[in-house]
Amino acid sequence: MKANCWYGKTTVSVEEVPDPQILNQRDAIVKISSTAICGSDLHLYNGFIPTMQRGDILGHEFMGEVVEVGREVKNLKIGDRVVVPFPIACGKCYFCKEQMFSLCENSNPNAWMAEKAFGHAAAGIFGYSHLTGGYAGGQAEYARVPFADVGPIKVPEYLSDEQVLFLSDIFPTGYMGAEMCDIKPGDTIAIWGCGPVGQFAIRSALMLGAGRVIAIDEIPERLAMAEAGGAETIDFSKSDVYDELMKRTGKRGPDSCIDAVGCEASGHGAADAVLDKVKAATFLAIDRVHVLRQAIMCCRKAGTVSIPGVYVGLGDKIPLGAAMNKGLTIKTGQTHVQAYTKSLLQRIEAGDIDPSFVVTHPASREDAPAMYKKFRDKEDGVIKVVLRPGR
Ligand SMILES: NC(=O)c1ccc[n+]([C@@H]2O[C@H](COP(=O)([O-])OP(=O)(O)OC[C@H]3O[C@@H](n4cnc5c(N)ncnc54)[C@H](O)[C@@H]3O)[C@@H](O)[C@H]2O)c1
Ligand SMILES: [Zn+2]
Ligand SMILES: [Zn+2]
């Protein structure tokens, strides 16, 4: 089959690779109808995530048709149309039982690597380095889906791929980012990053009762999409974010702050951001934590800082003193996608939200090398790329 493979920093190539096979009786094989490129894939593309190997198949946002099932998969049959959550989860361990699927104890065969890096291993993830299990991803013709009796969700035919595909990641991720803020009716939520995750966080915060959402980015079309979703906006290349947020909240600060940017934040010349960049380039630190610092400084006393943005390793000069003295709560995590798919599909079916709004670049899977670059460089108004075979 054809698959999009990682061949080192900024190199993605469409290769002929062996078809996946059922290896375990709880596996299914899915023929991919649509797959998307995620901001998280850019961390791989830009060489931020260790333990990638040349030839690894990319992609953790995908859906398609079940073409083969193992004997123990009773809930799916050949021909079912499914969306596949990006974390791989067994459904039976302590964390799965507690609905914390991205922390599954049984899905990362390279747990020893993650234990060295993080103290404990999180779940396996499709197409996301050997630290998260070395699983082949879904930017391919077919994918093997382990624990297929737990993850995949069947979706009705009348909804298009673009309306349901993002149940695999970015819709639940934006939603969990907002849910972690424990929003009270009327709260003001500030959201850094108007990429796809930020866009879903904006809409989710409003669905969860926020009175105001203030979204921060510098890319005009992303700010415009945030406004279309009901947010006020701040262009961080034009105004000082702290001053602006204080002005707009009577000096109190937002009730909660969401970092939907993560480890590759740009800093527009701010001293801390310049230092981050130098340190990242010289391997003295990995993460550029400019946004997280700003969120901690801006958040109102006793507020919550929610971090769906991905961090990898060591970030420094995090203002712990501010967090401690202001009594902040900090929450973060890879999304527990399986815990959200059913209820968010119901929201789509009810017409509360149509996730296809975020797609700006439908493309063919073979266009992946060019689309990765375009998405990384935010050229041509790109916000979300969806790849289909032979489009
Ligand atoms: N927790 C999870 O499970 C999970 C799942 C999916 C994605 N993510 C992470 O969420 C983050 C966003 O993903 P995305 O797909 O939206 O990515 P994206 O690259 O499309 O968007 C990031 C946005 O952040 C903006 N930005 C950069 N520096 C900024 C700053 N200083 N202030 C405000 N905005 C700034 C960029 O202009 C861009 O629009 C990534 O770190 C991604 O890895 C996490
Ligand atoms: Zn993703
Ligand atoms: Zn588990």
Q: Confirm or reject: Cβ of 83 under 6 Å from ligand 1.
A: no
pLDDT of residue 314: 86
Report pLDDT digits (tens) over 218-245.
999 999 999 999 999 999 999 999 999 9
Pocket-testing residue among 194, 261, 297, ligand 1, by greatest number of atoms within 8 A of Cβ: 261
CA of 262 to the centre of ligand 1 (A): 6
Instruction: With a cut of 80, say whether residue 85 has pLDDT above it.
Output: yes
Q: For ligand 1, is residue 197 a contact (CB within 6 Å)?
A: yes
b/e string for 173-209 if b means 16 or more Cβ within 10 A? Answer: bbbbbbbbbebeeebbbbbbbbbbbbbbbbbbbbbbe
pLDDT-derived band of residue 275, with 50, 70 and 90 as boundaries? confident
Tokens of 166: 């993002």
- Asked whether the predicted pLDDT for residue 276 surpasses 90, the reply is no
Helix, strand, coil in percent for the chain, rounding step 5: 30, 20, 45
pLDDT in tens, 122-163: 999 999 999 999 999 999 999 999 999 999 999 999 999 999
State pLDDT tens for residues 161-218: 999 999 999 999 999 999 999 999 999 999 999 999 999 999 999 999 999 999 999 9
Distance CA 214, CA 187 (A): 11
The predicted pLDDT at position 283 comes to: 65
The model's pLDDT over 339-356, given as tens digits with 9 standing for 90+, comes to 999 999 999 999 999 999
Nearest CA to ligand 1 atom 5: 173
Q: Give the three-state DSSP class for 175.
A: helix
Confidence of residue 324 (pLDDT cuts 50, 70, 90): very high
pLDDT score at 278: 81
Ligand nearest to the CA of 223: 1
CA 91 to ligand 3 centroid distance, Å: 5
303: pLDDT strictly greater than 90: yes
| Average pLDDT of the chain, as a whole number | 96
- Per DSSP, the residues of 310-340 read ---S------HHHHHHTT-EEEE-S--GGGT
Sequence-ordered list of residues with C-beta below 8 angstroms from that of 342, at least 6 positions apart, any chain:
153
Residue 197 CA to residue 124 CA, distance in Å, equals 21
Q: Check pLDDT > 80 for residue 251.
A: yes
Burial class (CB in 10 A: 0-12, 13-18, 19+), 16: exposed
- Tell me what pLDDT residue 286 has: 74
Angle at 359 between CA 355 and CA 363, to 5 degrees: 135
289 or 278, which is more confident: 289
Looking at all shown ligands, the one closest to residue 96's CA atom is 3
Average pLDDT for residues 260-265, to the nearest whole number? 93
Question: Atom of ligand 1 at shortest distance to CA of 262?
Answer: 41
- Please list the alpha-helical segments (H only) found in the chain: 39-45, 94-97, 111-118, 161-164, 170-179, 196-207, 220-228, 241-248, 271-281, 290-298, 320-325, 341-349, 368-377
Q: Is 216 in the pocket of ligand 1 (CB under 6 A)?
A: yes
Q: Encoding tokens for residue 208?
A: 């969860």
Whether the CB of 6 sits within 6 Å of ligand 1: no
What pLDDT score does 149 carry? 98
Residues flanking ion ligand 2, Cβ below 5 Å: 38, 40, 169
